[in-house]
Homo-oligomer: A and B are copies of this chain.
Amino acid sequence: MTPETREACEALDRGDVVAPLRAQFALDAADAADLIYLDGNSLGPLPRATLARVRQVVDEEWGEGLIRSWNTAGWVDLAPRIAGKIARLIGAGAEEVAVADSTSVNVFKALAAALRIAQADAPPRRVVLSERGNFPTDLYIADTLAQQHGARLRLEDADHLPAAIDDETAVVLLTHVDYRTGRMHDMAAISRAAHAAGALVVWDLAHSAGAVPIALHGDAADTAADFAVGCGYKYLNGGPGAPAFVWAHPRHLRRMDAEGWRQPLAGWFGHADPFALETGYRPAPGIARFQCGTPPVVSLAALECGVDTVLAADAVGGLDAVRRKSLALTDLFIALVDARCAGLGLSLVTPREPSHRGSQVSLAHADGHAVVQALIARGVVGDFRAPDILRFGFTALYTRFVDVWDAADRLRQVLESGEWRDERFRVRAAVT
């Protein structure tokens, strides 16, 4: 039942088991400025623990420990340790995840691996199938890589999936939750359809890892995913441009081990014994071969603090509780927009069906960019995605029910007043 007053939202906050997790974040400045941050799907906020940890790494480990900290401060163990933590958020084994590089670079590695396996068939399959609305970097990497493999990238609308998977499809590359619409794919159903057609699936978890329970192993062999990648700076709160992660199913890792297979970015940190400094490459066993260059220590330290903010949900019911609250928040926002912003030019883009929705709500408005700018001026930070989408992330770890109420209320005010028509909201910044 939708609360009909702000007081009712306050009551929801008082009863919210996830609410205590908000104290993990340094949102004081936002609170002081009466700022409602609904863009954690683009950049998660700063965890309180991060600054102290980064100071320790910079000042003590680097400044005082110098080169010795590779051993004494455990810098070599940092990436595998974080990988093990992320694994718990995506239904994977600790030994199946590597933390390294950017999401884009990991899409390259994972897709290259998947293509190689898929193309071992005779005659080789030559299509990488993705969604027209997939995040551009996935499409750019896939298009370029497909060309290098004598394959091609085929794009379909989400509504045509999984039906578009056929016997030409080598790999299906999809983002679990669409960055613009907030629509969530049925991971198990797509994986099953791909496998039934003899194809592999690579999932980009950028907009779901940390926000939605994910079961990469599925509930049966045919619903398991093949490869996955994800982003460190959205729901994992790792900081701007944080390192990303990559996952592979153990059956593929075993095969890579058996065949001594190397991934295309075969750098020294993916070697079986990096510090032996051998002339010839020998891949590290399992997922470790997906490492490439020297790990970015300071960024990794910040990422770990971010991942820890999500793991803290273990104390309040885990990602299932986070997901329940997230759906309550997005349900509430949709209901409030329906009830209080009717006739003001908005339409709902995100699916009403909860199981098809990630942790964001997207609305369309013909002058979406100006409306978002005017809303930011009123202290509600969402963002805009061309051509007409207003995007609001509702991260259960720190978003309150009153925030949802206030956001919908200010949205109504911006639209009713027409203040978004002001010239200053027409200016486009470098990053929108």
- Report whether B45 and A136 are in contact in the complex, using a CB–CB cutoff of 8 Å: no
Stretch at the interface among A67-75, A182-190, A330-338, A411-419: A67-75
Q: Measured between alpha carbons, how far is A264 from B240 in the docked complex, in Å? A: 24
CB pair B54–A430 under 8 Å, yes or no, is no
Instruction: Give Cα A281–Cα B134 distance, bound, in whole angstroms.
Output: 13
Task: Contact check, B268 vs A136: say whether CB atoms are below 8 A apart.
Answer: yes
- Interface membership of A304, Cβ < 8 A: no
Q: Mark A77-90, 1 if CB is under 8 A from B, else 0.
A: 00000000000000
CB contact under 8 A between A277 and B385, given known A62-B239, A267-B141, A297-B239: yes
Which B residues touch A275, using CB under 8 A?
Answer: 430-432
Contact A244 B293 (CB under 8 A): yes
Asked if A137 is at the interface (CB within 8 A of a chain B CB), the reply is yes
Give chain B residues whose Cβ lies under 8 Å from the Cβ of A277.
135-136, 385-386
User: Cβ of A226 < 8 Å from any Cβ of B?
Assistant: no
Q: Are A271 and B62 in contact (CB-based, < 8 A)?
A: no
Q: In whole angstroms, how far apart are the Cα atoms of A58 and B243 in the complex?
A: 15
- Take A267-B104, A268-B140, A279-B139 as given contacts and tell me if A430 and B71 are in contact as well, using a CB distance cutoff of 8 Å: yes
Residue A262 interfacial (CB < 8 Å): yes
A233 on the B face (CB < 8 A)? yes
Give the interface segment out of A35-43, A117-125, A167-175, A249-257: A35-43
The answer to the question of A260 belonging to the interface, with a C-beta cut-off of 8 Å to chain B, is no
8 A Cβ contacts from A19-60 to B: 26, 29-30, 37, 39, 42-43, 45-46, 50-51, 54-55, 58-59
Task: Assess the B101–A102 pair: CB atoms within 8 A.
Answer: yes
Q: How far is the CB of A383 from chain B (nearest CB, A)?
A: 7
A316 at the interface (CB under 8 A from B): no
Residue A326 is within 8 A (CB to CB) of chain B in the complex: no
Which one of B45, B139, B294, B429 contacts A102 once the chains associate, using CB atoms below 8 Å?
B294
Copies, count:
2
Binary B-proximity of A294-334 (CB < 8 A = 1, otherwise 0): 11111110100000000000000000000000000000000
Interface size class of chain A, counting residues whose CB lies under 8 Å from the partner chain = 35 or more
- Across the two chains, which residue of chain B brings its CB closest to A38? B67
**A340 near B: Cβ within 8 Å?**
no
In Å, the complex CA distance between A103 and B262 comes to 18
Give the 8 A-B residue pairs with the shortest CB-CB distance, closest first: A102-B293, A104-B267, A104-B293, A137-B268, A240-B297, A46-B63, A241-B296, A70-B431
Given A104-B294, A108-B267, A136-B274, 7 more A-B residue pairs with CB atoms under 8 Å apart are A39-B67, A43-B67, A54-B298, A70-B430, A101-B101, A137-B268, A240-B295
25 A-B pairs in the complex with CB atoms less than 8 angstroms apart: A26-B59, A26-B63, A30-B64, A42-B67, A46-B59, A51-B55, A68-B381, A76-B430, A102-B292, A103-B293, A104-B267, A104-B293, A104-B294, A108-B267, A136-B279, A140-B266, A140-B267, A143-B280, A143-B281, A144-B264, A155-B279, A241-B294, A241-B296, A242-B296, A296-B299
